[in-house]
Amino acid sequence: MNFEEYSGVWVFIEENEGNIAQVSLELLGAGRRLADKRGVDLCGVIIGNGVTLLSETVFEYGADVVYVYDQEIFTHYRTESFMKALLHCSEKYKPEIILYGATSTGKDLASAVATDLPTGLTADTTELDVEEDTGLLLASRPAFGGNIMATILCKKYRPQMATVRPKVMKALSPEPGRTGKLVEETIDVKEEDIRTKVLEIVKSTTKKVRIDEADIVVAGGKGLGNADGFQLIHQLAQALGGAVGASRDVVEAGWVEHPHQVGQTGVTVTPKIYFAIGISGAIQHLVGMKNSGLIIAINKDPDAAIFEASHYGIVGDAFEIVPLLIQEFSKAFA
Ligand code: FAD
Ligand 1 pocket test, pick from 250, 275, 280, 286 with the greatest ligand atom count within 8 Å of Cβ, gives 280
How far does residue 306's CA lie from ligand 1's centre (Å)?
10
The pLDDT score that the predictor gives to residue 146 is 64
Ligand 1 pocket test, pick from 264, 268, 269, 289 with the greatest ligand atom count within 8 Å of Cβ, gives 264
Cα–Cα nearest to 232, from 314, 326, 333? 326
pTM for this entry: 0.70
**Do 118 and 30 meet the contact criterion of CB atoms below 8 Å apart?**
no
How far does residue 245's CA lie from ligand 1's centre (Å)?
12
The answer for residues whose C-beta is within 8 angstroms of residue 231's C-beta and 6 or more apart is none
**Do 286 and 146 meet the contact criterion of CB atoms below 8 Å apart?**
no
Report pLDDT digits (tens) over 59-96. Answer: 999 999 999 999 999 999 999 999 999 999 999 999 99
**Do 312 and 291 meet the contact criterion of CB atoms below 8 Å apart?**
no
The pLDDT score that the predictor gives to residue 209 is 67
Report pLDDT digits (tens) over 279-296. Answer: 999 999 999 999 899 999
Q: What backbone phi and psi angles, to 5 degrees, belong to 306?
A: -60, -30
How far does residue 145's CA lie from ligand 1's centre (Å)?
14
How far does residue 281's CA lie from ligand 1's centre (Å)?
6
CA distance 174 to 63: 11
Nearest-CA residue for ligand 1 atom 34 is: 145
Dihedral of the alpha carbons of 238, 239, 242, 248, in degrees to the nearest 10 = -60
Beta-ladder partners of 219: 245, 276
HSE value, Cβ hemisphere, 13 Å, CA-based, for 243? 21
**Do 127 and 45 meet the contact criterion of CB atoms below 8 Å apart?**
no
Residues in contact with ligand 1 (CB, 6 Å cut-off): 145-146, 221-223, 247-250, 261-266, 278-280, 282, 284-285, 288, 298-301, 304, 317-319
Q: Check whether the bond before 302 is cis (ω within 30° of 0).
A: no
Report ipTM (2 d.p.): 0.99
Q: What backbone phi and psi angles, to 5 degrees, belong to 213?
A: -105, -5
Cα–Cα nearest to 295, from 231, 216, 236? 216
Cα–Cα nearest to 325, from 238, 256, 222, 245? 238
**Do 160 and 46 meet the contact criterion of CB atoms below 8 Å apart?**
no
Beta-ladder partners of 274: 217, 295
The pLDDT score that the predictor gives to residue 213 is 84
CA distance 107 to 164: 9
**Do 321 and 329 meet the contact criterion of CB atoms below 8 Å apart?**
no
How far does residue 142's CA lie from ligand 1's centre (Å)?
17
Ligand 1 pocket test, pick from 144, 149, 257, 285 with the greatest ligand atom count within 8 Å of Cβ, gives 285
Q: Which residues of the chain have pLDDT under 70?
A: 145-146, 204-209, 334
Neighbour-count burial of 69, counting CB atoms closer than 10 A to its CB (0-12 exposed, 13-18 middle, 19+ buried): buried
Query: Closest ligand 1 atom, CA of 250?
Result: 52
Neighbour-count burial of 194, counting CB atoms closer than 10 A to its CB (0-12 exposed, 13-18 middle, 19+ buried): middle
The pLDDT score that the predictor gives to residue 28 is 98
Q: What backbone phi and psi angles, to 5 degrees, belong to 176?
A: -55, 135
How far CA 45 is from CA of 51, 64, 185, in Å, comes to 11, 11, 10
The pLDDT score that the predictor gives to residue 205 is 60
3-class SS letters over 91-142: HHHCCCEEEEECCHHHHHHHHHHHHHCCCCEEEEECEEEECCCCCCEEEEEE
The pLDDT score that the predictor gives to residue 167 is 85
Query: Closest ligand 1 atom, CA of 147?
Result: 36
The pLDDT score that the predictor gives to residue 118 is 87
